[in-house]
């Protein structure tokens, strides 16, 4: 049986990593992720966790060390944010390209400049195409559960890919939430020891990461993409198993009060909590508004998304990231692309909000819904996206 | 008839090479435009060429001279440049 307790979400992630029996943790401190690895360092130092904690000189080295450790057959974990994630950039592609199941928590933070330590999704969106399985947590319980699930998903022999668990910097990483911490016994039942698919072993020597001449590179990338796309089924299967064991349900796209909804708000991460209150308040006024939240960002859950928006008039897609000079929000663009070839599709209005830690309030969601309705009444045209709360 | 190349399912996962030493099968010797030739009257069998060859393309023969493995020698000329006795010269490779 688990224990219900109040805990800072960063510490809950550290607990999840400990319960997952991670064997190597390599990390470099960066706000707002620091508490996660600080706590893990303490656990290792105090003998609570039998793991090697490698203090490295940069995030590039942190990811490199995790790659090496995973290749040697160790369950590996790291955590980072913003510029730290950007510094890992090239190594993220190595982890996925080598099919090594590293697990990472990213406490999402705005990219500098200007320097911002506060939350938004611009760090992970820059790594969208790095070949990692990408999950977004809304709550502390999500963060705890997804971290344990991440190891199971990453290490599944049909997958063998790295997984990133995104938690909003500060608004999730630094808040104390009530959550269920599962027992070691139950986590052990859910997560068996790591059996590497690819492993460096002196008794069975192999070379990993050789040159891929033009003659084979495309085939190897095809392999990798098929593995990522097909991980969808495995993720669903593992989530079902998790539900049966622990009683909490996980879906690629989470829906809230979407029945008979005409307008859906779409968002990822902790802001969904605020959006949910806004939806409740609008529903009380008789407005047919619902909420959808992307939990699984890669592989993109095309079918779930099509199903989630079927029959609605409009989707207000809110991104905490601005794709400069493009369509605005990466998640909005993706949603639009996914709908483009459908005969019946909703009007999709793009909104940018919550950049660099700017609060997204209940009132902001009222504005978002109001503007979406207005655009819909005007025939569904207008600009590609609007920035919420920006002062003129 | 062109040779049928393997499809994506046929390659090992992540292009892993599971056969150690497989690089020795690659004929890197056909890259070269110049090849080393030894003058036995100058060579004192010191083995410096063997030490500095970046491709390990030299090996000791039965008589103590270091022979060139032309299947792997890329003709870089480092051995000729570094030889203390100027016993190695590079001549154009005949293809």
Tens digits of residue pLDDT in A221-277: 999 999 999 999 999 999 999 999 999 999 999 999 999 999 999 999 999 999 999
Query: How many residues are given for chain A?
Result: 392
What burial class does residue A261 get, using C-beta atoms within 10 Å of its C-beta: 0-12 exposed, 13-18 middle, 19+ buried? buried
A215/chain B closest Cα distance in angstroms: 9
Residue B49: inside a domain: yes
B31/chain A closest Cα distance in angstroms: 16
Cβ atoms A45, A87 nearer than 8 A: no
Model pLDDT for residues A21-30, shown as the tens digit of each residue: 999 999 999 9
Instruction: Indicate yes or no: CB of A99 within 8 angstroms of CB of B18.
Output: no
Q: Measured between CB atoms, which of A204, A212, A223 is closest to B13?
A: A223
The domain that holds B46 is classified in CATH as 3.30.70.20
Domain count, chain B: 1
Residue B50: inside a domain: yes
- CATH classification number, A255-387, choose in 3.40.50.460, 3.30.450.40, 3.40.50.2000, 3.40.50.920: 3.40.50.920
B40/chain A closest Cα distance in angstroms: 39
User: Using beta carbons and an 8 Å cutoff, which residues of A are at the interface with B?
Assistant: 97-99, 160, 197-198, 204-210, 212, 215-216, 218-220, 222-224, 226
Cβ atoms A128, A330 nearer than 8 A: yes
Residue B15: inside a domain: no
Contacts A–B by Cβ distance under 8 A: 47
Contacts of B24 (CB under 8 A, 6+ apart): B72
CATH numeric code, A3-246:
3.40.50.970
Q: Which domain holds residue B30?
A: 26-92
Q: Measured between CB atoms, which of B13, B17, B18 is closest to A197?
A: B13
Q: Which residues of A38-56 are buried (b: 16+ CB within 10 A; e: fewer)?
A: bbbbebbeeeebebebbeb
B70/chain A closest Cα distance in angstroms: 23
Residue B36: inside a domain: yes
Instruction: Indicate yes or no: CB of A207 within 8 angstroms of CB of B16.
Output: yes
Contact residues, B window 6-35, toward A, CB-based 8 Å cutoff: 6-9, 11, 13-18, 20, 22
Domain ranges of chain A: 3-246, 255-387
Q: Which residues on B lie below 8 Å from A223 (Cβ)?
A: 8-9, 11, 13-14
A135/chain B closest Cα distance in angstroms: 23
pLDDT tens, chain A, 392 aa long: 789 999 999 999 999 999 999 999 999 999 999 999 999 999 999 999 999 999 999 999 999 999 999 999 999 999 999 999 999 999 999 999 999 999 999 999 999 999 999 999 999 999 999 999 999 999 999 999 999 999 999 999 999 999 999 999 999 999 999 999 999 999 999 999 999 999 999 999 999 999 999 999 999 999 999 999 999 999 999 999 999 999 999 999 999 999 999 999 999 999 999 999 999 999 999 999 999 999 999 999 999 999 999 999 999 999 999 999 998 899 999 999 999 999 999 999 999 999 999 999 999 999 999 999 999 999 887 788 999 999 99
Is-above-0.80 flag for pTM?
yes
Q: Measured between CB atoms, which of A98, A160, A219 is closest to B11?
A: A219
Query: SS3 of B79, please?
Result: helix
**Rg of chain B taking only CA atoms, in angstroms:** 18
Residue B5: inside a domain: no
Contacts of A370 (CB under 8 A, 6+ apart): none
Residue B31: inside a domain: yes
The residue of chain B nearest to residue A212, with distances taken between CA atoms, is B15
């Amino acid at each position: 049986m688990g224990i219900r307790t109040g805990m800072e979400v960063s510490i809950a992630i550290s607990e999840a990593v400990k319960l997952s029996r991670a064997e190597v943790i390599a990390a470099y401190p960066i706000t707002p992720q620091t508490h996660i690895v600080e706590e893990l360092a303490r656990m290792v130092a105090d003998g609570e966790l039998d793991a090697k904690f490698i203090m490295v000189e940069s995030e590039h080295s942190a990811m490199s060390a995790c790659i090496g450790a995973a290749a040697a057959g160790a369950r590996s974990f790291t955590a980072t944010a913003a510029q730290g994630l950007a510094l890992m950039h090239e190594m993220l592609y190595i982890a996925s390209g080598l099919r090594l199941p590293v697990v990472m928590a990213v406490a999402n933070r705005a990219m500098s400049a200007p320097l911002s330590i506060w939350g938004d999704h611009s760090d992970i969106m820059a790594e969208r195409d790095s070949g990692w399985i990408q999950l977004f947590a809304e709550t502390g319980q999500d963060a705890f559960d997804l971290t344990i699930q991440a190891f199971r998903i990453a290490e599944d022999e049909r997958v063998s890919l790295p997984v990133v668990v995104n938690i909003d910097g500060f608004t999730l990483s630094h808040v104390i939430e009530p959550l269920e911490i599962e027992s070691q016994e139950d986590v052990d039942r859910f997560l068996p020891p790591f059996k590497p698919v690819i492993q460096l072993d002196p008794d069975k020597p192999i070379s990993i990461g050789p040159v891929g001449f033009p003659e084979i590179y495309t085939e190897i990338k095809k392999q990798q993409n098929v593995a990522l796309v097909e991980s969808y089924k495995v993720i669903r299967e593992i989530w079902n198993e998790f539900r049966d064991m622990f009683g909490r349900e996980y879906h690629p796209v989470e829906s809230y009060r979407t029945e008979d909804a005409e307008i859906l708000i779409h968002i990822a991460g902790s802001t969904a909590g605020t959006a949910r209150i806004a939806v409740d308040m609008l529903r009380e006024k008789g407005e047919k508004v619902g909420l959808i939240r992307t939990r699984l960002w890669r592989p993109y859950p095309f079918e779930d998304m099509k199903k989630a928006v079927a029959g609605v008039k409009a989707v207000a897609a809110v991104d905490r990231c601005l794709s400069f000079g493009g369509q605005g929000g990466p998640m909005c663009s993706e949603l639009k692309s996914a709908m483009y070839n459908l005969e019946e599709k909703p009007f999709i209005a793009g909104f940018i909000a919550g950049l660099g830690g700017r609060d997204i309030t209940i009132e902001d969601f009222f504005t978002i819904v109001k503007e979406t309705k207005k655009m819909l009444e005007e025939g569904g045209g207008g600009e590609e996206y609007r920035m919420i709360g920006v002062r003129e | 008839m062109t040779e049928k190349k393997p499809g994506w399912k046929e390659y090992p996962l992540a292009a892993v090479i599971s056969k150690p030493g497989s690089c020795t099968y690659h004929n890197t010797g056909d890259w070269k435009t110049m090849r080393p030739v030894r003058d036995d009257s100058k060579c004192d069998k010191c083995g410096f060429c063997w030490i500095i060859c970046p491709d390990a393309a030299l090996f000791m023969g039965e008589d103590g001279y270091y022979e060139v493995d032309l299947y792997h020698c890329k003709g870089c000329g480092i051995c000729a440049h570094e030889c203390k006795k100027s016993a190695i010269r590079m001549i154009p490779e005949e293809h």
